[in-house]
A and B are shown apart, each in its own frame.
Chain A
Amino acid sequence: DQQVKQNSPSLSVQEGRISILNCDYTNSMFDYFLWYKKYPAEGPTFLISISSIKDKNEDGRFTVFLNKSAKHLSLHIVPSQPGDSAVYFCAASEGPGNQFYFGTGTSLTVIP
């Protein structure tokens, strides 16, 4: 049973606009959350993280929001750039020493 879900397989956004990628989880014990970005024929690369003690973490154009009561996190990219076109995976873990569970990914296309 998928503990981390990304219900939107794909998303298209105009360059300069905001991209919002969503992720839901079912395990209330999850404590750490990550976003990875993946280009074709490459491995995923780490993008941004958040722990459950925070509800927001920002890094440049990328912001991750965590809503623990709704078991939901989202990644905001603003402004979106064509180079952001990739597959984005969210991942969650119960904390140190525990494995990460990955979502199925959302393919983002930023249209110039």
Chain B
Amino acid sequence: GENVEQHPSTLSVQEGDSAVIKCTYSDSASNYFPWYKQELGKRPQLIIDIRSNVGEKKDQRIAVTLNKTAKHFSLHITETQPEDSAVYFCAASSNAGNMLTFGGGTRLMVKP
């Protein structure tokens, strides 16, 4: 089955700096890669996603890049703000259905 590894497990940055979180996946059939943000005590919320026919996608301060050959994808957050502090999860799925395999999560702390 699919295996998704996520690094780093914790990340501390100063407000205004950029943050990068990296994930690797094992199943070459995976073609959908969402990123979720989960604040303490709340539900995971989708912040951006990318499909395998696209190499990069941006949404304001957030961008995701995908390298299918190397089987890795990354989340980039620019101009970080204290409200970006949360746990971020990457995930992967294939056309076999709606089964998301999640990475272990990254706790991002943005210091004011």
A and B from one assembly? no
Q: Which residues of B contact A (CB under 8 A)?
A: none
